[in-house]
Amino acid sequence: MAVYDHTAVKPDGTEVPLSDYAGKVLLIVNTATGCGFTPQYEELEAIYAKYRDQGFEILDFPCNQFANQAPESDEEIHQFCTLKFGTEFPQFKKGDVNGDNANPLFVELATTKPFQGFNGLKKIVMNKVAKSVDKEFGDKAYIKWNFTKFLVARDGTILERFEPTVSMGDVEKAVAAQL
């Protein structure tokens, strides 16, 4: 199965074929409203505003699987993101990225580009946290934490995985290189 073979569900229940995004560079991210990485929404929106006219989209998939950091309803999450960070990129229905009910898109993304480790100053803390997630989901712990990002080329090829500890400057450079 390819990225464009998947569908995503909007908060109102409407299914969106990801083939609607064919020909665009995508950054697919699982997010949460109460995470230490939540301020990345601001940087994501800045990248989106800068590059969306060049065929770039960010697809936001809220997830509550990491320390209950997105307990709100889809509508409350959307309001939080738009009011606090001014996000304009597409946001989809909150769902799982790990376990038996994981979104098949994230299963494909994470098995194509598996976890290679955290980096930066938060590496030690994040490694400990990730081990608890691994115990909870076993061999279906595809994503280690909120704000894991996947860069997808215009042809649907999954190019890179960025853990939440990767600098947003590095993420932006990778996006710009594809445009």
Residues assigned a catalytic role: 35
The residue with tokens 């996006």 is 175
The token pair that represents 86 in the structure block:
């001014």
- Give the sheet arrangement for strand 25-31, strand by strand: 56-62, 25-31, 149-152, 158-162
Task: Supply φ then ψ for residue 126, to 5 degrees.
Answer: -65, -35
Give the Cα-Cα-Cα angle 134, 140, 141 (nearest 5 degrees).
Answer: 35
Residue type at 78 in one-letter notation:
H
Contact 40, 170 (CB under 8 A): no
Look at residues 165, 162, 163 and name the one whose alpha carbon lies nearest to residue 174.
Answer: 162
